[in-house]
Structure 1
Amino acid sequence: MVSPQVPLHPAQVEAAQAIYNSAHAGSWRRTDGALAALCSAMPDVNPAATLLKVVTVNSLYGTNVYAVDRAALHVADVLNGAEGLLRCRPELVEKMAAIPPPPAGGATRMHRSFASKFAHFFIDHDCFPIYDSFALKMLRAHLGRDALAADPTPTYMAFEAAFRTLAQKAGLGSDTRRLDRYLWMIGQYRDWTRNPSAQINSELRDLFQADPPELAVAAGAWYHPRA
């Protein structure tokens, strides 16, 4: 059976962007601005610069990487070994996500959310959309669960292909940031409407409680008016 699909309309993405530009999302914008400033100030791929970038994106976006020094060395090795077009291919994120275990041993853990955010903010935001649980749930909601199969943690290549499919269906072009913001915002909104105690971003929780008029447009069929 093919799972149902909820169409995405450009007006929803534009409404989410309007919210992002408003006073309701000041902390979110400052966070993104800080990452952009760091990218401009430290464009090189060397151990010190990469470590600072890893620590910053891990702290500001909560990507749950604990071995930050090992992660930074791995990311620098991957980027220094990447050639030409690979630097704008989804396989690059998959390689960065495979942070090796410590010398004492253990399994390689995949940190796709971390790697996608590093690539998005410090390599090319249009090449690398952000992979996280909210984006995954929203892609499945819009494209049908079959779009990303049954794997709860699909590869970044599968995620990126689904993201591009949704962008194409909605006529959004190649600017990933607007769709990224919509997926993250409304993915959390859906969780919040189902469970007001859900673990979501605190600034977005305040936004949802304020219920600005743009939220109804952005949420579309998932909008729940405040009582």
Structure 2
Amino acid sequence: MVTVDWLTLSDSFGVLVFAISGALAAGRRSMDIFGVLVIGFVTALGGGTLRDLLLGIHPVSWIKNPVYLLLVTIAVILTLLGGRISHRFDERIMIVSDAFGLAVFTVIGVQIALQQSFVSPPVAIMMGVITGVAGGAIRDVICNDIPLVLKREIYATASAAGGIAYCLLDYLGTPTLINTLSSIALVLTIRLIAVKAQWALPSFSITR
């Protein structure tokens, strides 16, 4: 009987879609091929690397499993090859791929954090948010954009909602696969609806 490692499968999918969003962001800045690869790598692997370092997990995921580097390379190459075909839709593709990456990496981050005996659910939720948003934040900084997590958009909030949902369902004893898919769907739904409806958090400003 073949067993499916859903954690690894989900993580691999998240790496692919985040690498695509990174490559598209680099393309919008007219970077060379090396630059596109760099942005693809930091977008796809930045959040997981930061999570592992904070949790004291060594070696970090992509060093322990170099397949992730191959996945990023494949995603970047496919994005480069399909760039001329998809250039009219790159904004939508980037939004959707980024939303998928956010959703998948949030849940992966929570799951990996909960596997550590010293991590409580609130910390696991924070690790999920870090895993979900850090790669995209690094991408935006390098591309000279304001990171989405610092804008009024519903971004980190969607990630936190998914992390909370996962911890609650885990506490209730929901099967891991159902919990994983439900939490990913929640983050993805909130993020995409927020983009479509232009939802935003209230701003804070000090006026004199």
TM-score, with normalisation over the residues of structure 1?
0.31
The structure whose residues are more often helix, as a share, is 2
Greater RCO, CA 8 A, separation 6+: 1
Q: Quick check: which has more Rg, 1 or 2?
A: 1
TM-score, with normalisation over the residues of structure 2?
0.33
